[in-house]
Homo-oligomer: A and B are copies of this chain.
Amino acid sequence: MDTISLTSPADFHCHLRQPPMSELVTPHVSKGGFRLAYIMPNTKPPITTTVQAIEYKKQLQKIEPNVEFLMTLYLSPDLTPEEVKKAKAAGVVGVKSYPRGVTTGSEGGIESYEVYYPVFQAMEEAGLVLNLHGEVPSDATHNICVLNAEIAFLPHLLKLHTEFPKLKIVLEHATTRQSVETVKSLGETVGCTITPHHLAMTADDWAGNSWHFCKPVAKFPDDRQALQDIIREGHPRFFLGSDSAPHPPKSKSTAMPSSPCAAGIYTSPILLPLVAHLLESFGALHRLEAFVSTNGRKYYEYEVPQGTAPVKLERAPLQIEEEWKLDGDAVVPFWAGKQLNWSIAQ
């Protein structure tokens, strides 16, 4: 197989930031082969209201008119059942929950879910999706650190699904076998995104390399295996969410020992070739369209618009750029300088 034709690839977890960074990275969504991007709300300040979400969508559309942007709100005390209804009416698709302090832009994250039950009730009724960053904060007294923060979160997912069985809930960027097994065991309303970098890495890859540091961190080889296996078997509730997260190079390098680097890995501009390369490496290339388009679109009920031209991949080497720049801004992609086996056909 030397060419692949894909129906309207959709990235169901993407960070596009604000100007000037958004001007650099937003065009990379289509450059990376995608026609739909589900946009995270952890901007500064975060997107907590419908008005902000609509304004943010307009900004992004102005930069890149050829991509469909699905917007989300940041779960916070600002979010009321009334605002949920307003958001739904305005076309907002989901609400993202960040436990407090676990990753980039999570300073205003939640500490307990119970207080949000009226909001979740309204979301369930309106048909908004709850997107979960599935990690609990580190806590030495309970033996929690980055290594087990995701597994320790799974009881929250179980409880939310039990309380709100009709609420669509997506466990974002799963990294462990336990998460895969948990999502599989739950009902049809629970979905799960998987990033390309978690299909590629284990803990060995971010140990000593801050460019490979993201949250949740990549775990054991067996965890990576579970992520690869669930894609290869074609489970319909698992789909691509790149979690592509641009950071300025100075916040990813650790030239100074005083502070750790920002969590996040940038994959947008190479996303489709990277995913094809990875899926082929573990014998799942026949699931490419399901993983990058069909499964996620079905879960979110975003059918491919009629008349959409397919995106074509060809088996041709793609040298990954060392850096992308625009004016004073720059961003370094995952696997910078490496070569992928697939390119987007021009």
A252 / chain B contacts, CB cutoff of 8 Å: 254, 257
Q: Does A255 contact B (CB under 8 A)?
A: yes
Given A253-B253, A258-B337, also A145-B221 (CB < 8 A): yes
Residue of B nearest to A213 (CB): B208
Which of A136-144, A187-195, A290-298 is the interface stretch?
Answer: A136-144
Interface bracket on A: 35 or more
Q: What 1/0 mask marks residues of chain A from 194 to 228 whose CB sits below 8 Å from any chain B CB?
A: 00000000111011111101000101111010000
Q: Does A336 contact B (CB under 8 A)?
A: yes
How far apart sit A146 and B146, CA to CA, in the bound complex (Å)?
A: 14
A221 / chain B contacts, CB cutoff of 8 Å: 140-141, 143-145
Oligomeric state, in number of copies? 2
Q: Which of B202, B219, B332 contacts A140 (CB 8 A)?
A: B202
Q: Are A145 and B220 in contact (CB under 8 A)?
A: yes
Within 8 A of B (CB), among A126-166: 138, 140-141, 143-148
Shortest CB distance A209–B (Å): 4
A263 / chain B contacts, CB cutoff of 8 Å: 208
Residue of B nearest to A214 (CB): B208
Q: Does A93 contact B (CB under 8 A)?
A: no
Q: Which of B138, B207, B256 contacts A204 (CB 8 A)?
A: B138
Q: Does A261 contact B (CB under 8 A)?
A: yes
Q: Are A254 and B209 in contact (CB under 8 A)?
A: yes
How far apart sit A146 and B218, CA to CA, in the bound complex (Å)?
A: 12
How far apart sit A306 and B210, CA to CA, in the bound complex (Å)?
A: 49
Q: Does A260 contact B (CB under 8 A)?
A: yes
How far apart sit A144 and B255, CA to CA, in the bound complex (Å)?
A: 30
How far apart sit A146 and B147, CA to CA, in the bound complex (Å)?
A: 12
Given A140-B202, A202-B140, also A257-B211 (CB < 8 A): yes
How far apart sit A344 and B207, CA to CA, in the bound complex (Å)?
A: 34
A211 / chain B contacts, CB cutoff of 8 Å: 254, 257
Given A145-B203, A219-B147, also A208-B255 (CB < 8 A): no
Q: Which of B140, B222, B255 contacts A253 (CB 8 A)?
A: B255
A143 / chain B contacts, CB cutoff of 8 Å: 220-222
Q: Are B204 and A145 in contact (CB under 8 A)?
A: yes
Shortest CB distance A203–B (Å): 5
Shortest CB distance A146–B (Å): 5
How far apart sit A332 and B133, CA to CA, in the bound complex (Å)?
A: 35
A140 / chain B contacts, CB cutoff of 8 Å: 202, 221, 224
